[in-house]
Amino acid sequence: MASGHLVSMKDVARHAGVSVGTVSNVLNRPEIVSPDRRERVEAAIAELGYVRNDAARQLKLGRSSTVGAIVLDSGNPFYGQLVGGIEAAAEDSQLMVIAGSTGSRERRERLYLSLFEEQRVRGILLASTGGSADLVEAIRGRGTPVVLVESERDARGSSVSVDDIAGGELAVQHLVAQGRRRIGVVAARQDLRQVADRLHGARRAAKAAGLEIEVLEAEDLTVLAGRTVGEEVVARSAAERPDAVFCVNDLLAVGVLQAFAFRHQVAVPEEIALVGYDDIDFARSTVVPLTSVSQPADLMGRTALALLEEEIASPDAAPRHVSFTPKLVQRESTTG
């Protein structure tokens, strides 16, 4: 074949001396083809370097073997673990996953949703900013199932979530049990349901203990933003600082810990106890291992894919919601 020529089924058929239909049967139903013809076709495929056009095949069949996964932040290891769970479950089901990260931006989320629908994916798994509910419903109405991840119960489709209110409560209850009374909560993007719920839970636990939390606003949910907030805390006098800090994700907590431990030698937990959220792998290997609220990212991903497959198999079945309970993993940042 000439350089740059895409080998077609016709080329394979011509080379093997069989019909195009025989080539198609070898690719899709090899058991009905005689061994001699099957061997000739397979040899031609290998010699010519034929690669099947799976997109065209799927378009003809009217269904795809691909699912789309949309997450808020690919830079957060939690979402890497979540997608890893989706991919592991998809491999077992002989499905392929294409993942995209929105950076917690609604415009980008809507773009991914539209692109995945245009690509005729078999279904979509969405960790949403919360701003594209209308588009999600439109896509569902046109026949593509969407399962929400990290979402509250969804009346029109299946969803998977963690009880983030309970998670925020766990963090502050633990700090109170350690004797801490001046508790700061580092938060950003309170428009995101996950963050709002964690903050709500923290406030509820503080109120039950007769305390009020101080919200320490960060610019984003990143290590750098956490370090900036940590610097601001350290700049206060010792009497004005909180004696405990709960961060609404581990990336913020790592940044706060950097400001405390590396640059200013604020003792953790002796002077300020620190709790994160997500329990990413890195949390256990920081300079002071980080106490964190753990949510089962891998299991959430596997469960979301299973719910999506249920909707694909039974489009008229009632949607299901699966909620996981977070747990506190204690390490030296609060109990050292």
| CB neighbour class for 31 (10 Å; exposed up to 12, middle 13-18, buried from 19) | exposed
> In 3-state terms, what secondary structure has residue 265?
coil
Beta bridge partners of 327: 294
What's the gap between Cα 52 and its chain centre? Answer: 31
Nearest to 198 by CA among 275, 101, 301: 275
* Cα–Cα distance for residue pair 185/174, rounded to 1 Å: 14
Contact 32, 24 (CB under 8 A): no
* Cα–Cα distance for residue pair 230/234, rounded to 1 Å: 6
Lowest mean pLDDT among 62-71, 129-138, 222-231, 321-330: 62-71
Percent of all residues in the chain with a pLDDT value above 70, rounded to a whole number: 94
Beta-strand pair 327-329/291-294? antiparallel
> In 3-state terms, what secondary structure has residue 277?
strand
What pTM value is reported for the model? 0.81
* Cα–Cα distance for residue pair 12/21, rounded to 1 Å: 11
State pLDDT tens for residues 60-115: 555 678 999 999 999 999 999 999 999 999 998 889 999 999 999 999 999 999 99
